[in-house]
Amino acid sequence: MGNRKMARGWVTAGGLLLLLAAAGLAAQTWRDKPATAWTAEEAEKVLRDSPWAQKKEIRIARHRDIGDRLPQPPQPGIPPIIQRRPAERIIPSDFVTYVVRWDAADPVVQAFARLEELGQRGTASALAPPPRRPADRYVVTVVTTQFSETGEDLLDALDETQLRLYARLKTRQGEAAPLEVERVRGTDTAAVHFFFPREQDGHALVVAGIEEAEFKLETRRFKLNSKFRLGS
């Protein structure tokens, strides 16, 4: 009898261990696996929501929609101040959503390679991999993942000169403007690639021990700032 109870106890303990092992496997993420074992969802998460990729939502300021501004003919019995008051309609807030990505990170390179390996070329293309990674450049990519309700993209209003003027890459070592920008616009993607120098005034922007880099794109109309963890 005692042996049966002991056997049941071992079975129960064994089942518990199996459940805990299964839960541990389920809790694993891209952080716990080599890149070659990532699922498509995990690779995409690296490119959308990780220390090197951040979602940013920018509110588009809308002005009041003023109705007919033309003076109305006076009407008997209505005070003039009321007659001149135009109709107003508040337009609801609208948003544009971006993913700002540090393309110099090894996991980002590995995530794009993994999506290609899994046959997810459409997903990879929509996330706008940089066309090149020059050895003397850091590439920061801003991907438009959701346009406004009216189809507006705030980056469309900026030409190449303005993008280079308003964008900055900042670390504790210094701050640099992009040397070049490249815009991508297709049926399934919209993005801007910013190519920053790895050195500024003879000094490396990123050196051993620097844990953070900040990308800033600030105009009169909006601010798009992201801080990246350079370690894993």
pLDDT digits (tens, 9 = 90+) for 49-79: 999 999 999 887 655 444 444 455 666 665 5
pLDDT at 129: 95
Q: Are residues 96 and 27 in the same domain?
A: no
On whether residue 75 sits in a domain, the answer given is no
Asked whether residue 7 carries a pLDDT value surpassing 60, the answer given is no
Asked whether residue 132 carries a pLDDT value surpassing 70, the answer given is yes
CB 97 within 8 A of CB 57: yes
Q: Are residues 19 and 115 in the same domain?
A: no
CA–chain centroid gap for 173, Å, is: 24
pLDDT at 150: 78
* φ/ψ (deg, to 5) at 140: -115, 130
149 or 212, higher pLDDT: 212
On whether residue 71 sits in a domain, the answer given is no
Q: What is the mean pLDDT of residues 18-47?
A: 76
On whether residue 66 sits in a domain, the answer given is no
Q: Are residues 152 and 203 in the same domain?
A: yes
Q: Are residues 25 and 100 in the same domain?
A: no
On whether residue 69 sits in a domain, the answer given is no
146 or 19, higher pLDDT: 146
Q: What is the mean pLDDT of residues 172-200?
A: 91
Instruction: Give me the sign of the Cα torsion angle 172, 176, 182, 187.
Output: positive
Q: Are residues 171 and 144 in the same domain?
A: yes
On whether residue 216 sits in a domain, the answer given is yes
Q: Are residues 145 and 214 in the same domain?
A: yes
Q: Are residues 202 and 103 in the same domain?
A: yes
Q: Are residues 12 and 126 in the same domain?
A: no
pTM of the model: 0.75
Q: Are residues 116 and 202 in the same domain?
A: yes
CA 112, CA 109: separation in Å to the nearest integer?
5
pLDDT at 105: 92
Domain that holds residue 10: 1-32
Please give the angle made by the CA atoms of 224, 226 and 230, to the nearest 5 degrees: 160
Asked whether residue 26 carries a pLDDT value surpassing 60, the answer given is no
pLDDT at 61: 64
Domain count, the chain: 2
Q: Are residues 191 and 216 in the same domain?
A: yes
Q: Are residues 1 and 14 in the same domain?
A: yes
On whether residue 150 sits in a domain, the answer given is yes
Q: What is the mean pLDDT of residues 169-187?
A: 91
On whether residue 212 sits in a domain, the answer given is yes
Q: Are residues 164 and 49 in the same domain?
A: yes
